[in-house]
Amino acid sequence: MDPPAVNTATPELQKELVDLVWGRPSNGGVSASIFRRWTQGFVFCENEQSALEQFEGGPCAVIAPVQAFLLKNILFNRESSNWRQISEEDQKTALCSTLSEILESACSSPSTGFCLVTWAKGQSPPKTTQMETLSSTQAQDMPEPESSQPAPELHPTAVAVEDLGFEHFHSVLQKHTFMSASELREEVLSLFHTWRGSCGVLLFLYSVILTKGIENIRNEIQDTMEPLIDPVHGHGSQSLVNLLVTGHAVSNVWDGERECSGMKLHGIHKQASVGFLTLMESLRYCKVGAFLKSPKFPIWILGSETHLSVFFTKEMSLVGPESPSEQARRVFQSFDPEDNGFISESLLEDVMKALDLVSEPEYVNMVKGKLDPESLGIILLGPFLLEFFPEQDSGIPDSFTVYHYNGLKQSNLNERVEYVEGTALVLGFEDPMVRTDDTPVKRCLQTKWPYVELLWTTDRSPSLN
């Protein structure tokens, strides 16, 4: 096996990377407080051993997608049923497998290989104060790091790099290139202590970006002037979330492509492994398409105005293959880009052809007369689905156990990151007898299940923020 190609990041590459991720702030640089919020590693919680902890606002744009894929791998790829209590060795395996999976998804072409961004040799940041206060016995129990890696930290924190400024951080990085997925997975595993150490989140993000290719990302982002991380508030963009979830840095959450004033706007092009729902849809700011709403696994990243959390269940029947009526709804809505709930009758034939329905002109005219008896010139979604796909059983159970994850301690009860367990009731209609609450989590989920009700085991509903 050939050794990986290693280069120190050139000034040109550093500038391209910084411009793409952080933009060009008006004051000439990223503030120390914003940068500090992004300098944490992937740290597992002490009490919820399969959950990652987020120290400050901002890096949820990376941590939440990684947590979603991590849960997929722990819940559905492991034989053990005890998914909340896992050993450090299992944490290592699950995290590194998850990071590798996301990197492989981002790779545009096998011929370009995969990139890992790590500390240049001898340039890792100073150890945290926690490391300095370890007893000699604890220190002896820590595994020996690989020679090119920083020593492992017991509890890496965001303050471990207070003295490592934005400019200096970018001057001490190096890039490794691997030409096969097996080499990549082996190296990601060997760098476990780098990912969980200081700046692990940023090192992984930069690895994904260079694996995808800066030019490829620029070609997918709708507004190339918008950075992946807001340098003023520190929040990640939708393009960044989409890159980690789907491997494509598109700026929109609808299915496929849409045209607006002659411009082609890119959306999601295939079913994602984990999904995405947003409170912004309940406020009618956007419309999430079926490829994100109905993922391969029953795990959804939930977006609020400022934060990302994760909602999940083990109920696989929620994400079965797309039913004919779901496909019909998706296709109909692709001809209704403004989400009006109807299309012009002139588009009916195209919709029927796209669904492989009989589309002879005489039959289409007969259907028009039936679905538009008042000759208004429009076809409504509801009557269209009832005409061709009546009373289809969705196969969803009436109730199922659900969990919510929020990585910020201060957003959890007792300021401890814990999964909040509950029961979801998915009804086919609004029933005032089982009305629960009206919380942001519920409003977010109603964009997928309009009549969902949630009963949580805690006194208060989990927070989206």
Structure tokens at 21: 């991720």
Beta carbons of 185 and 128 less than 8 angstroms apart: no
Catalytic choice (60, 107, 115, 199): 60
Q: Dihedral angle at the C-alpha atoms of 199, 204, 206, 210, nearest 10 degrees?
A: 160
Distances (CA, A) of 16 to 77, 84, 152, 418, 428: 37, 40, 30, 39, 51
Measure the CA–CA gap between 151 and 255, rounded to whole angstroms.
45
Residues 6+ apart with CB under 8 A from 24: none
Is 307 assigned a catalytic role? Answer: yes
> Nearest to residue 22, comparing CAs of 227, 169, 205?
227
In angstroms and rounded to an integer, the radius of gyration of the C-alpha atoms of the chain is: 24
Query: What angle do helix axes 238-246 and 200-212 make, rounded to 10 degrees?
Result: 70
Catalytic choice (176, 235, 307, 404): 307
> Nearest to residue 20, comparing CAs of 170, 227, 212, 169?
227
Query: Catalytic residue positions?
Result: 60, 307
